[in-house]
Amino acid sequence: MRVTQSMLSNNSLRHIQNSFRSMGKLEEQLTTGKKVNRPSDDPVVAMKGMRYRSQVVEVEQFQRNLSEVYNWMDNADAALNEVNSVMQRVRELTVQASNDSYEEKQRQSIASELKQLRVHLESIANTKVNNKYIFNGSDTSGKPVDLAKVDETVDLGTIEAGNAGNYSLFTEAGEQLLWNEFKGTYIGKEGTEVNVPVTGDYIAKEIGAVAVNSNNVDIEVSKGVQLNVNIKPQNVFSLDFFSDLKDLIDKMESPESSGEDLNKFLGTLDGHIDKIISERAELGARYNRVEMVESRLMSQEIIAKQTMSENEDIDAEKVIIDLTSQETLHRAALAVGAKIIQPSLIDFLR
């Protein structure tokens, strides 16, 4: 086959263009730090890179979720610590007032302080974090405690059946009941009395008096793993809790009360303090698990990023050497191309 000058020129140009293309690819890799900058460079590496990147993003999201978990738990623990301190002060004042040497005015002064402590407990129960109530179960927009409604007396006999949904029903011990569990008398739809055999004492309070939502607030901290970040408000800020404090204050303000009458409240206060400590201990156990999950996520993040880097990041030293070699070859190709292209008439006239 006859090799013409045009064939030599075309081949030379094609090889020079390929050399330029190789240099351009190496330069792009060195600039971006990535082996693959488009799927066509290496479909397999690109596909794996998408999976690895999704894994890294997922771990980073779980770490952001952990920040929210810590925010809830830290605030809840601080609030329970404050509640415990307040209750210890209430107990201390009760022991003080149970001394029969205290006069009526002195006990009334103590009662005044107890009233302020009770209001302070209401404010703790209504703690907000990021504009969410943390002591009302999953109903984070509803106020957990309203002392005005707690102290309001509701006559069960005046509640109409159609309006029963506006009230919460409790046993005398402060345990919430459903209306279909009620055994008593209330007004029917047409104003007639509905009689049900009474098997115990019941208390009705307007909705919003105390938290009745017991649903957990769960936050996902790992694949398929969710942690409860709140406490059961009924174990701490119950109707019984605030009602017992009100009874203590009333008894302390009564001129007929004796030290023995006040001393009987100590067992009740100790019961509430034990519930607070138990709830805080349970919260602490979950907090320890959160710390272990955080440690695991940190390890997963390191492994995921390392795997992603090995899949798509370049070896800078190798790319620099390859680029230098390619540049040398490119210069050689240009030199050879210049020699094989036929000299022009100007070259003959020199």
pLDDT above 90 covers a percentage of the chain that reads 23
Helix intervals (H) in the chain:
5-32, 43-97, 104-125, 147-151, 239-253, 259-263, 265-312, 316-340, 345-349
Q: How far is CA 339 from the centre of its chain?
A: 73
User: Residue 5 — very low, low, confident or very high, per pLDDT cuts 50/70/90?
Assistant: low
The identity of residue 23, as a single letter, is M
pLDDT in tens, 172-190: 777 787 777 777 767 665 5
Q: Give the pair of three-digit tokens for residue 22.
A: 């190789």
pLDDT in tens, 8-36: 677 777 777 777 777 777 777 777 777 77
Q: How much is the pLDDT for 34? A: 73
Q: Which are the contacts of 134, defined by CB distance < 8 A and separation ≥ 6? A: 72, 75, 76, 79, 127, 128, 140, 230
Q: With 70 as the cut, is the pLDDT of residue 121 above it?
A: yes
User: Residue 40 — very low, low, confident or very high, per pLDDT cuts 50/70/90?
Assistant: low
pLDDT in tens, 79-110: 999 999 999 999 999 898 888 777 888 888 99
Q: Which are the contacts of 54, defined by CB distance < 8 A and separation ≥ 6? A: none
Quick one: average pLDDT of 279-288? 92
pLDDT above 70 covers a percentage of the chain that reads 86
Which residue is listed with tokens 């209504």?
126
Q: How far is CA 203 from CA 159, 170, 189, 268, in A?
A: 12, 5, 21, 19
pLDDT in tens, 251-277: 888 887 787 888 888 999 999 999 999
Asked if residue 297 lies in contact with residue 62, where contact means CB atoms within 8 angstroms, the answer is yes
User: What long-range pairs does 129-134 form, CB within 8 A, spacing at least 24?
Assistant: 129/71, 129/72, 129/75, 130/71, 134/72, 134/75, 134/76, 134/79, 134/230
Q: Give the pair of three-digit tokens for residue 135.
A: 């002591």
Quick one: average pLDDT of 49-71? 85
